[in-house]
A and B are shown apart, each in its own frame.
Chain A
Amino acid sequence: MNRVRIVSFVVCLHAAFAVHAASDDPPVADVETRGHEIAARQDRSDRGFQSSRADVTMILRNGAGATYEREMRLSVLEVPDEWSGDKSIVEFLSPPDVDGTALLSHANIREADEQWLYVPALKRVKRISSSNRSGPFVGSEFAYEDITADELNKYTYRFLETVPCDDRDCFVIERVPAYEGSGYSRQVVWIDAIDYQLRKVEYYDRSRQHAKTLSLEAYQRYGDGYWRATRLHMVNHRSGKETDLLFRNYTFSIAIGESEMSPTALRRLR
């Protein structure tokens, strides 16, 4: 009995080594397939959430330690098609001078998103150019492309390795933006092997320098089992600036119609 166990352990160990040895120099197609599979599983873990709403606090910290806060409300409507992006509205609640300003995005996969801005002081809804995915989002260390939905077909993937992270293993995958206008040459992402959630992202700029790191923390499970990180922490390694996004009051599968995610509906938010 004991022997059998030991033998099977050795066999397993051997098998593990064999896999490991094989992954040292695997065929390109394999690492791409594996990377895509893991990313697809991550994408699927979120499928069917339909809609969500959350209160968000953004905290900006500059190198000198000064902080600056914004309050927002985020509404998302899921578009199930893998080749269409989700629709979302960010309503700004503070600072008070931007209270009521709202940004509607219809995300696209490979092309520029469609975005409309509502400016309450002028009562004006205007379509804005959104070809600049790499620009900063309201002065934060998040670029527009960092806050829009992580859609599967936005990237091509390559599996790198499996490493321990916290209490579990993480798959480390390199992904290269396949959409227009990205400010990144590549990203290295950590996806955990249990819940298939994103744990960390390293962003490499166009000159292939490590520019920023995002940590996704304090995961909580909502509704029918959808995981959400409730703290996103972005560090800009060049400027030393940091931005936190804290999510509260998540609600899922609320009734949000297509017409509420249209530019004409922005006028009735406030």
Chain B
Amino acid sequence: MRCWSGSVGVLVCGALFAAEASGTTDALMRTTLESRWYAATGQYPGQQDRFAPSVVLEPTLDWESDDRNSQGRLVAYLRLASTERDRTHADVRELYWRRSWASSYLLVGIDRVFWGVAESVHLVDVVNQADMLEDVDGEDKLGQPMAVLTIEGEASALSLYALVGFRPMDFPDTSGRLRLAAGREVSRGEVETDRLTGRIDLAARYTGYMGPWDWAVSVFDGTSREPRLEASADGDELVPVYPQLRQFGLELQYTEGPLLGKLEVADRRMTGDRRTAFVGGFEYTLFSFGGTATDLGVLLEYVRDPRPREWPRVAFERGVFFGLRAQANDAADTTALAGLIRNPESGERMWSLEAATRITPNVTLELEGRAFSRVDSGSALEGLRADDFVQLSVNWFF
């Protein structure tokens, strides 16, 4: 079911690994004990538990040929959740083989890809499906089967993507929290796309830098990773529908001293409509803040992501994001990022906090939190409004 792409990849990559059996391998296992506390019981039946512990296993296997020109990688992922039954899931995050030549490389298999420069939202980032059972910010991703050819110049690179197979979004079931579907059951069996069967999604991205500018332009032609949720014929549940999307993306970053200027633009065509979404803003770093070794970054971004009614909904069609980032520059690599995004029209707010430090060479500690306020009924955030939480994770690497 959810691991189908994994089994395809195992066959492809297993054969390739076997073909080049020499070289060096490197294995690493991450084991995470995660405790999540919700501030209140949920707003829907079945959401009684306020304490939600999980165990995560993430084994990584790296292989590199002796001449360093061939590399292989496997990253598997397993979450076992005790109370939110459906957060228990497994995925193959990465399983690829990569061959490098002097100024090009080819990747075949499953990988994760990130596009973008902004911090508050990721508008142009369309290659992978988000793992919504992990978090609602879209930064955790399901592995996507693909073939990628990248051609590098001195200060630019062109990547051509053939994205094979479509991975639908996973929704928490009725015992889960953080349900974007606002308490209604989302159909598991049916996935509607209007695409032709057997079609491969295509994408390309051309990226480079010049002086203080880092830029990228991209195009994606395929099935939208975000679904629109429609009531089923009997009205009992919601059916996710994935429209066809053609998107042109632009990413720009300007770096001058302690100031970063950022802009992302996504021009999208779906269901016969065309809209342009953008996010732009600044990050200013106060180095060695207050005479300490800590750098403090101040982030300010504005988001505009207009959506016609037939399009997948988004949490913030408008948003002003304010963030503070602290980097302690200590031996434990302590960092923290706190953010608030607010819709200036509706007043809806989402608060977030992420902090991490290392307590022994093999053990790190992570604190995360999320809170929602002034969320109206009928809003895209309605299903989350009683789900404020803090979460403490202990990661053990061996």
Q: Which of B139, B257, B395 meets A129, CB within 8 Å?
A: B257
Given the known A-B contacts A95-B361, A129-B257, are A262 and B155 also in contact in the complex, defined by CB atoms under 8 Å? Answer: yes
Residue A63 at the chain B interface, CB threshold 8 Å: no
Given the known A-B contacts A95-B362, A123-B113, A124-B114, are A132 and B331 also in contact in the complex, defined by CB atoms under 8 Å? Answer: no
Residue A3 at the chain B interface, CB threshold 8 Å: no
Given the known A-B contacts A132-B285, A268-B105, are A139 and B331 also in contact in the complex, defined by CB atoms under 8 Å? Answer: yes
Distance between Cα atoms of A99 and B29 in the complex (Å): 12
Distance between Cα atoms of A138 and B328 in the complex (Å): 9
A131: which B residues are within 8 A, CB to CB? 257-258, 287
Residue A98 at the chain B interface, CB threshold 8 Å: yes
Distance between Cα atoms of A139 and B333 in the complex (Å): 7
Residue B22 at the chain A interface, CB threshold 8 Å: no
The answer to whether B288 touches A264, judged by C-beta atoms less than 8 angstroms apart, is no
The answer to whether B293 touches A264, judged by C-beta atoms less than 8 angstroms apart, is no
Q: Which of B154, B207, B295 meets A258, CB within 8 Å?
A: B154
Distance between Cα atoms of A123 and B259 in the complex (Å): 23
Residue B98 at the chain A interface, CB threshold 8 Å: yes
Distance between Cα atoms of A215 and B105 in the complex (Å): 42
Residue A97 at the chain B interface, CB threshold 8 Å: yes
The answer to whether A68 touches B154, judged by C-beta atoms less than 8 angstroms apart, is no
The answer to whether B331 touches A129, judged by C-beta atoms less than 8 angstroms apart, is no
The answer to whether B114 touches A122, judged by C-beta atoms less than 8 angstroms apart, is yes
Residue A65 at the chain B interface, CB threshold 8 Å: no
Given the known A-B contacts A124-B114, A126-B117, A265-B152, are A139 and B330 also in contact in the complex, defined by CB atoms under 8 Å? Answer: yes
The answer to whether B103 touches A129, judged by C-beta atoms less than 8 angstroms apart, is no
Distance between Cα atoms of A127 and B259 in the complex (Å): 11
The answer to whether A123 touches B112, judged by C-beta atoms less than 8 angstroms apart, is yes
In whole Å, how far is B184's beta carbon from the nearest beta carbon of chain A?
32
Residue A37 at the chain B interface, CB threshold 8 Å: no
The answer to whether A264 touches B150, judged by C-beta atoms less than 8 angstroms apart, is yes
Q: Which of A60, A69, A132, A140 meets B295, CB within 8 Å?
A: A132
In whole Å, how far is A96's beta carbon from the nearest beta carbon of chain B?
4
Residue A44 at the chain B interface, CB threshold 8 Å: no
B398: which A residues are within 8 A, CB to CB? 96
Distance between Cα atoms of A132 and B358 in the complex (Å): 24
The answer to whether B330 touches A122, judged by C-beta atoms less than 8 angstroms apart, is no
In whole Å, how far is B42's beta carbon from the nearest beta carbon of chain A?
30
The answer to whether B253 touches A68, judged by C-beta atoms less than 8 angstroms apart, is no
Residue A177 at the chain B interface, CB threshold 8 Å: no
In whole Å, how far is A255's beta carbon from the nearest beta carbon of chain B?
8
Q: Give the residue name and chain of the B residue nearest to A115 (CB).
A: B255
A-B contact pairs, 15 of them (CB 8 A): A95-B362, A114-B255, A129-B259, A129-B260, A132-B288, A134-B287, A135-B287, A135-B329, A139-B328, A139-B331, A259-B152, A264-B152, A268-B71, A270-B62, A270-B73
In whole Å, how far is B347's beta carbon from the nearest beta carbon of chain A?
30
The answer to whether A264 touches B207, judged by C-beta atoms less than 8 angstroms apart, is yes
Given the known A-B contacts A135-B287, A138-B329, A262-B152, are A99 and B98 also in contact in the complex, defined by CB atoms under 8 Å? Answer: no
Residue B379 at the chain A interface, CB threshold 8 Å: no
B154: which A residues are within 8 A, CB to CB? 258-259, 262
Residue A136 at the chain B interface, CB threshold 8 Å: yes
Residue B4 at the chain A interface, CB threshold 8 Å: no
Residue B48 at the chain A interface, CB threshold 8 Å: no
Residue B235 at the chain A interface, CB threshold 8 Å: no
Interface centre among A98, A99, A132, by most chain B C-beta atoms within 10 angstroms, is A132
Contact digits for A136-169, partner B, Cβ 8 Å, 1 yes 0 no: 1011100000000000000000000000000000
Q: Give the residue name and chain of the A residue nearest to B62 (CB).
A: A270
The answer to whether A262 touches B113, judged by C-beta atoms less than 8 angstroms apart, is no
Residue B209 at the chain A interface, CB threshold 8 Å: yes
Q: Which of A95, A112, A259 meets B358, CB within 8 Å?
A: A95
Given the known A-B contacts A96-B397, A264-B150, A264-B208, are A134 and B112 also in contact in the complex, defined by CB atoms under 8 Å? Answer: no
Residue A94 at the chain B interface, CB threshold 8 Å: yes
16 other A-B residue contacts (CB within 8 Å) besides A259-B102, A259-B154, A262-B209: A94-B361, A95-B358, A95-B362, A96-B361, A96-B398, A97-B333, A129-B255, A131-B287, A139-B332, A262-B152, A262-B154, A262-B155, A262-B157, A263-B214, A264-B157, A268-B71
